[in-house]
Amino acid sequence: MAGRIAFLGPVGTFTEQAALAYAPAGKLVPFATIQAAARAVAAGTVEEAVVPIENSLEGSVTYTLDILIEEDRHFINNELVIPIVHCLLAQPGTRIEEVRTVYSHPQALGQCREFLERALPEVDLVASLSTVAAVEDLKGSASPAAAISPRRAAGLHGMDILAHGIQDKSSNATRFVVLAPTDHAPTGRDKTSLCFSFDQDSPGRLYGVMGEFAQRDINLAKIESRPTKQSLGEYIFLVDCEGHREEPQVRAAIDGARRQTSTLKILGSYPRWQAGEDRRAP
């Protein structure tokens, strides 16, 4: 029996598209929030969850980073990258010049900023909870409206596509991570995500931690900071490094980092994404 896979819903989102690519035979279960999807993994009601973590235009999905920092009952087990193609949808028969309101998730509005300023400079932009909830919002709109949504949402909701591929950069892509009760066994082409913090003076001491990786020639693929939520100016750092946590050099660098930090948590070791590859064991 194929496993149950949670994803950030509703049906029709890019996260569903990622979950379908990751687990074509899985039973996909939509959740209303990233947190609810992650909690389902922690509670054992699903095997895995697919959630967005980073977009090439908008940057990190901070909600996902915060859940990774706070929650100990799931790990990053895999990652995958999906190209993001936004469409402008409207009720059948609507002409683009009639549109007065455009609904979408704030990240999608941000990803189509240049198109909106060029093609629809006078419209009201209204935030929706997801690119698919935007279609529901447009149905309820008093004035002629459109939604920025995936192509798949047009078919699901019987909408016209007024414009296709309206994102500012054709290279727009989102990275998703798969959360599971454990991380992945070594494959020889892995990366490791970790987070750490300091009692004080965190940006100053970050340099020392980075040295643990630099002196062992371990490449860092990403560095991100999040607030500790205690006071302004204190941060938790999230770092992705090449290699698996079970490799001796990676383990030594992490041990060295642990000695210089007040908290350090391994978020998971997992195979690095390579385009065109099938992530899932047969």
Residue type, 51: V
Nearest to residue 267, comparing CAs of 245, 246, 235, 282? 245
Alpha-carbon distance of 153 to 159, in angstroms, equals 8
User: Which residue in this structure is represented by tokens 């969850």?
Assistant: 49
- State the minimum distance, in angstroms, from the CB of residue 174 to its own copies: 8
Nearest to residue 150, comparing CAs of 159, 141, 139? 159
106 vs 155, beta carbon nearer its own copies: 106
Kindly tell me the number of DSSP H helices and DSSP E strands found in the chain.
9, 15
47 vs 240, beta carbon nearer its own copies: 240
User: Which residue in this structure is represented by tokens 């948590």?
Assistant: 265
67's enclosing H/E stretch is: helix 62-70
- State the minimum distance, in angstroms, from the CB of residue 243 to its own copies: 13
Alpha-carbon distance of 109 to 103, in angstroms, equals 8
Contact 29, 7 (CB under 8 A): yes
11 vs 221, beta carbon nearer its own copies: 221
28 vs 53, beta carbon nearer its own copies: 53
4 vs 63, beta carbon nearer its own copies: 63
Interacting residues with its own copies (CB under 8 A)? 54-59, 62-63, 81, 106, 110, 125-129, 168-169, 171, 173, 175, 201, 203-204, 206-207, 210-211, 214, 219-227, 229-233, 235, 239-240
- State the minimum distance, in angstroms, from the CB of residue 224 to its own copies: 6
DSSP class of residue 273 equals: P
224 vs 247, beta carbon nearer its own copies: 224
Contact 257, 216 (CB under 8 A): no
- State the minimum distance, in angstroms, from the CB of residue 126 to its own copies: 7
- State the minimum distance, in angstroms, from the CB of residue 134 to its own copies: 11
Give the torsion sign (CA, 97, 102, 108, 113).
positive
- State the minimum distance, in angstroms, from the CB of residue 167 to its own copies: 11
